[in-house]
Structure 1
């Protein structure tokens, strides 16, 4: 695309154009990352939390940037387009450069504190059952049809997201399921992403290290829905009617509303739930009809996830009977209540539960499925919301027979200080043990387990690494507990 044509799409304030320069060249790339740049790139200077792109302009030019988009004064020998907000400019330029790819896809965004990964994977499985080519954007990985790509962030930056959408269009993908984080919404990473459907799962404490308070966090979640109708009409918001934030989300959008729930009258309601070791049976009440549903996943929280996916697939245009048939074939998501079978009828479950509500849901799910005791091993992430640490310990203590506190990506914090936070306000420590080395904590849990016990390894889920200081080392809870079972 011609640089002048690209820049004309912006409401820019002014252009600084050196006498020996012009904008008559074909743009090869639009990016905020100096490491990605090639000759004839457009570099967008973003003022981030750790680095300011305006300080990297010389490096960008040396890497091949021929045009800079900035919001602060620069002294450089290439053209500079000055705008009020480079984040908004990046969203606009990226969408135009890749020819608005999201408008050629059926895009469903899923936001909420818990359940985003499972809902997107359930939707993806339903689509694939119907022979629909799919894309995924999320925590574990990004997927373009059958090609899996490494995910750095749950929701990528604008230029990466638009490039990913363009790859999906090229691969003839039809339906995309996308996790949308609250941080990404505040930072505008989803600007110019043309969502057809937005799903709200639930709301509970998380990310208060970023949002400061629950009101700000709630506002962040609502942004996906308030922006849903801005590009065109015919959009749908799918809301968990049972959640306390439901009415707030509903009033934040002009889109069509569909609701789902268990405890309240909703458009898609689950009744007569029956939990068993092989999954969950329930009756779906929808569109004036009743349907028997078998879901090969355990837990009430997964019934909510399934209802969200059913509603999303219905909005796409699929028949409810075939949607229900597709659900029978789904398998669990890695690191989400993932079963690891051990000797002597000792089983372990690996789960990503890293918030108070998620940990409570997981333990409440395991309780009726456990013959004997529950041993919970978990930690809390460093440089993250410290207020939830003692709350999670209290929940683990309430629903477990033994709790082993350990590390979970302590980052730049002292692991011992994190443990002290986790113990804050607790009087009875009789059922709590401390082992800072997560590998040893898992081995201790296995060594202490009796026949019929269940071990829950919570917090890391699908993650295959541990972050201690600035060092990232390989670490996989599933592999570690398998090794512990073998050695025991």
Structure 2
């Protein structure tokens, strides 16, 4: 695409110099490390880095045009000045990558808990229909079977548009995508044409960024208020899939112009679960879809997973798939790495690795384990550094009150003193409950597994699928699944 044609989509701009030698754009980027010859570099002012400070570096690497919002001294390369480079980047990336989202059926999932499981469930449902799928989320990006790394739950808008363009090129038809609250506030999904938007739930998280729950709720609401504000009758309508058991789901219903499909257990939802039976082999329930009733089994355990299954079912149903086909796909789904992942051993002790890093997520995980075991539940848990301080006492209180043996340790302490984080967790523990603490997460996991007896469950909470630990500025390899497996093996060897 010619540079003149690309920037034409920016209606309000100032170009210096006005007349410049046109060229074929090879790449659009905000990252100087990506710049190649004939790139367009967008100088974005973020929380940690200001792209305007790296303009000369971008030019030296081959950038032939700069998009900026602040005065910058540039010689020999044209500059397009706009009021907001983040907004300009969203518009330019959509133009450069051909509005790829419009050629795809995209389901966006937002909420505090459940996004990863729900998107994986949706992916499995569509794959079972022999459709080529894409997935974008916390763990990775996937194009068919190809797995690509990701830095954020929802990538920056250029990476996102680039990924969607590759999906179109490779024949993907359906995409399941996690949409974080921070991404919504930062405009990382501006220009993405969602077909279905799913709300899972809203509980405390990311208050280090949003400051208040009201701000956090507002951020989540943007996915629904921005969902296709027109009624088109020559294609599938936009649909908002809402958890009506959560009061916020009812509020979002008033904020969207899209057609609404509700799900839940407690309220009178369009799609609901009744007669729920949770057991060690999974969960069974009656699935009510308007006036139809189906028997559904999932290999995942817990009430929160019933909600995840309902959300995924509703998203697929809203997309036009038959209920029977969806149910068949759900029955074969075994779960997601690091989401209530069971690690058993001949010792009779089992470990569960879960990403429950919020107060509600930890409570739901412990409540589920209490329902499926007759023995004791150990809980190894920590809180991340440089994040919401207010949730630390709450996490400590929940672990102490809802497990038999709580053990506090490090998560990703980052720049904070891990002992101070643990002390903050201890401040929420009710009087009389003693909690062993280990700054070293490996020691905490080993201690819990060595103390556990046959029939006991050890929940290792907070990091889930993550295969690293951030201590100071270092990112070190650390995998809860690997550590639990090793500890269980050592326990087995010691018993021989």
TM-score over 0.5 (shorter chain): yes
In the alignment, what sits opposite 2:63? 65
Aligned Cα root-mean-square deviation (Å): 1.1
In the alignment, what sits opposite 1:74? 72
C-alpha spacing 1:98/1:70, structure 2 compared with 1 (3 Å): same
User: 1:303-314 alignment to 2 at 5 Å?
Assistant: 303-314=306-317
User: 1:263-274 alignment to 2 at 5 Å?
Assistant: 263-274=266-277
User: 1:346-425 alignment to 2 at 5 Å?
Assistant: 346-425=349-428
Q: What is the CA distance between 1:427 and its match in structure 2? A: 4.2
- For residues 411 and 33 of structure 1, the distance between their equivalents in structure 2, rounded to whole angstroms, comes to 24
Q: What is the CA distance between 1:102 and its match in structure 2? A: 0.5
In the alignment, what sits opposite 2:304? 301
1:41 corresponds, among 39, 42, 56, to 39
Q: What is the CA distance between 1:390 and its match in structure 2? A: 0.6
2:370 aligned counterpart, secondary structure: helix
1:478 corresponds, among 460, 477, 481, to 481
Matched pairs, number:
486
In the alignment, what sits opposite 2:494? none
Structure 1 length-normalised TM: 0.98
Judge conservation of contact 2:396–2:427 (CA < 8 Å) in 1. no
- For residues 149 and 419 of structure 2, the distance between their equivalents in structure 1, rounded to whole angstroms, comes to 32
Stretches of structure 2 that go unaligned for 5 or more consecutive residues are: 492-496
Stretches of structure 1 that go unaligned for 5 or more consecutive residues are: none
Q: What is the CA distance between 1:13 and its match in structure 2? A: 2.9
Structure 2 length-normalised TM: 0.96
| 1:144-202 Cα deviation digits (max 9, x unpaired) | 01110011111000100000000100110000000000000000000011000000000
Judge conservation of contact 2:411–2:469 (CA < 8 Å) in 1. yes
1:245 aligned counterpart, secondary structure: helix
Q: What is the CA distance between 1:230 and its match in structure 2? A: 4.1
1:487 corresponds, among 464, 467, 490, to 490
**Is 1:9 the counterpart of 2:9 in the alignment?**
yes
User: 1:138-177 alignment to 2 at 5 Å?
Assistant: 138-177=137-176
- For residues 108 and 328 of structure 2, the distance between their equivalents in structure 1, rounded to whole angstroms, comes to 23
Judge conservation of contact 1:401–1:431 (CA < 8 Å) in 2. no
In the alignment, what sits opposite 1:225? 224
In the alignment, what sits opposite 2:134? 135
In the alignment, what sits opposite 2:202? 203
Judge conservation of contact 2:400–2:429 (CA < 8 Å) in 1. no
1:451 aligned counterpart, secondary structure: coil
| 1:409-465 Cα deviation digits (max 9, x unpaired) | 000001011011111243425341101100000000011111111100000000000
| 1:228-279 Cα deviation digits (max 9, x unpaired) | 1247742110000000211221111111100000001111011010111111
**Is 1:426 the counterpart of 2:429 in the alignment?**
yes
In the alignment, what sits opposite 2:179? 180
Choose 232-241 or 290-299, whichever is displaced more. Answer: 232-241
Judge conservation of contact 2:400–2:433 (CA < 8 Å) in 1. no
- For residues 427 and 174 of structure 1, the distance between their equivalents in structure 2, rounded to whole angstroms, comes to 52
- For residues 264 and 231 of structure 1, the distance between their equivalents in structure 2, rounded to whole angstroms, comes to 29
